[in-house]
Structure 1
């Protein structure tokens, strides 16, 4: 018997995804630009525009927060992928619903396509996480024998 685990940390801790890093930078930049635009408007904006700006700022900051958390914590078991998939599903669904309310049901086509893509991303992320967890369980089961 040995005290060393049968796996190495680099097998469990993925390098930070460039796509997630790009989404975080884009989210933060977009939020900062929208907030700056909103703050420098000479007159009061219509209610719909204020809600849209606030929503876009929240979405951008959520992606930036996920990227920052991923850089800081280096999450195990592809948890960052699952969280990113959930954010994608929630934000595309919300955007599609708002689009349908504002522009009518014919405008839902692109949003429904994006929701389908986001769901596929989430399903693949969960499968990756589950695969990693089962590998750990198998390695820990063999290491204890």
Structure 2
């Protein structure tokens, strides 16, 4: 027998799984400055608009600013993680994308109806974006569940 310490299944998972794989680090590094830049750009555009803006325009600026802040926060959160995420990052990104797609589709459709141009094209294009975002959210949840199942198999823990 050797005197080497034996690693538990959890220790093996932590050693084998990169804390933040290069692909995820690139995604985080891209999301953080893109979110900050978007926030600055949309916020500056909103702030410098002359005169009082209509309510729906205020709402659109607020939504776009909020989504940019969400992406910046996601990028910052992802860069600060020092533990295996088990695809939590993908689930969060998918939900941000789905929320942004739904809200943008709703705002564009309402604006199209108010302008009298009809909401058909807005709903068709927005529906496509929502469908893709929903598919990515479902895939992210499935991947996370599979990784957690595998971790529980390796560690012998019961699933919650």
Task: Give the TM-score taking structure 2 as reference length.
Answer: 0.77
- Which blocks of at least 5 consecutive residues in structure 1 are unaligned? none
Output aligned runs, 1:78-89, within 5 Å. Answer: 78-89=87-98
Corresponding residue for residue 119 of structure 2: 105
- Which of 95, 105, 109 aligns to 1:96? It is 105
Corresponding residue for residue 138 of structure 2: 123
Output aligned runs, 1:1-145, within 5 Å. Answer: 4-6=7-9, 7-9=12-14, 10-11=16-17, 13-15=19-21, 16-74=24-82, 76-103=85-112, 104-106=118-120, 107-141=122-156
Residue 43 to residue 100, structure 1, CA distance change in 2 (3 Å): closer
Corresponding residue for residue 115 of structure 2: none
- Structure 2 distance, partners of 1:46, 1:97, is 17
Residue 122 to residue 46, structure 1, CA distance change in 2 (3 Å): same
- Structure 1 distance, partners of 2:99, 2:80, is 24
Between the two proteins, the alignment pairs up a number of residues equal to 141
Moved more, 38-47 or 127-136: 38-47
- Structure 1 distance, partners of 2:55, 2:150, is 51
Moved more, 74-83 or 64-73: 74-83
Instruction: Say what the alpha-carbon RMSD is for the aligned residues.
Output: 2.2
- Structure 2 distance, partners of 1:57, 1:90, is 13
| Structure with greater contact order relative to length (CA < 8 Å, sep ≥ 6) | 1
- Structure 2 distance, partners of 1:38, 1:79, is 33
Which has more radius of gyration? 2
